[in-house]
Amino acid sequence: MRIAGLQGGTVRRPAVFEDHITRQFVTNAPDRLWGMAIMQDRTGEAGVYFAAVIDVFSHRYMGWSVADHLQTELVVDAIDMVRLRWKPSGRIAHSDRGSQFASWLSGHRLCETGLVGSIG
């Protein structure tokens, strides 16, 4: 490629959702803004991953999932727990641009659940 004067390129995929909160991680009431995150705990040779949906106001865990992998199902299972426990509608669920959150499956599940997705 160098001899031919060519170079590789990348295609940036657009975000699944807009950034509805523009880095304003503050709300004045519960159940308006939820944050989604994945944490990792190294245990010996393996890792355990924890996906959570957290109410930004009260810091209450609304849904969670634990697995030994970082596949999209980890996030989808946490969203499913939210759907089964709380029946949310119209709340903003914000996450980073991680591939698990930006996937079609997790975006579709957020919409099915009635949450407004936000990625920033």
Domain residue ranges of the chain, discontinuous segments joined by +? 33-119
State the pLDDT at residue 11: 57
Beta bridge partners of 37: 52
Domain 33-119 fold is Nucleotidyltransferase; domain 5 (3.30.420)
Sign for the CA dihedral angle at 89, 94, 99, 102 comes to positive
State the pLDDT at residue 62: 93
State the pLDDT at residue 15: 53
State the pLDDT at residue 47: 84
pLDDT averages per 10-residue partition of the chain, 120 residues: 77 68 82 90 84 93 93 93 86 84 86 85
What six digits make up the tokens of 58?
Answer: 């009260």
CA–CA distance, 5 with 25 (Å, rounded to integer): 46
State the pLDDT at residue 101: 83
100 in Cβ contact with 106 (< 8 Å):
yes
CA–CA distance, 83 with 73 (Å, rounded to integer): 15
State the pLDDT at residue 5: 80
